[in-house]
Structure 1
């Protein structure tokens, strides 16, 4: 049905408490945070809120010089904000599909562009992919998250999870790679013979190879990453 009376439209689209906890998918592309304290979220992802919530940009020295230096290299993609208070906070990122993961003393790597929010108390650090920096425009970076609590990641369209085993390594296009298990360390490889077949971005001949035991999450879309100089 595409035609509604105003009453029908309100009934169809109104906010509903589903009782799912701290993070709740209000729609597949909008995250509701039932805030009673603090949450970290991607800068610029706030859509709406109610209650008493205060927003702060992440302090430049808040996490020490090491993270400040790495954030300076990664540009805008990893910028975070803190939301403190009590109320309902709604987050979204360019209409991307949102997945909620509940970490139970586990670790996961998430592409810096695809991390939407995470609970305060989860340990995190920015990891630069140095070996790929010269191969792609601006290189790539990711965020390693570990501990107990909820995180929200985003993907263009439906994500697909591929299992990695010692006899079945997985090779992905970096521009389509969303996340992977915390125990995996991808290798980067180039194959000029695949240039016309594997990816269409600036790093089209570069692939990420995952070996061991774990998983990799990919999306049916290739994001284009820009260096800091292109963002400014």
Structure 2
């Protein structure tokens, strides 16, 4: 485990220093295969501020990640979030270790895979039991793997980080809800829906629901509700 933690820390430090890129390579053999990977990492400052505000208000904060649980917890510790979200409040993919404590790559039994529906299962089967059946009052997500978890909130705030995902994605549906219920709440859930814009180049939340991938062009990725113009805010 200590060896894995050292790899995690080294990987995070290296990626924080790299530019955001997705290099693509094509094989040179008889059968051409194209592969790509992403490099570069940005830690968005607004999420920590939100966690801090929730804790100050007496709200228990949890992280539910599609990453291995050890990675999510170690990343949180590296970024100094351990005092806001203790390791016991971090849920991620869990793997078995052997009798010598070595990683086996086998998933733990009777524990959900924390992606998509599995994130919601963590909420309903574990967290709601801890909190005597109470539903979450806040949830934040940015991808299709978060949609079911975001749907568990009642009488609270659903904060969707705008990574400019298209209309075919379920997360774009939460962009649309933020635009539709701007300044009010959804009747069926009594939730407020927020759309949080990002400057993805520098890794910062911005005062807009629109996001930018290059620091020049800002978009909402919403085609309805006048392109979500109410969430523009900035003079773009």
**Relative contact order: is structure 1 or structure 2 higher (C-alpha 8 Å, sep ≥ 6)?**
1
- So what's the TM-score if we normalise by structure 2? 0.24
- So what's the TM-score if we normalise by structure 1? 0.24
Greater share of residues in strand: 1
Greater share of residues in helix: 2
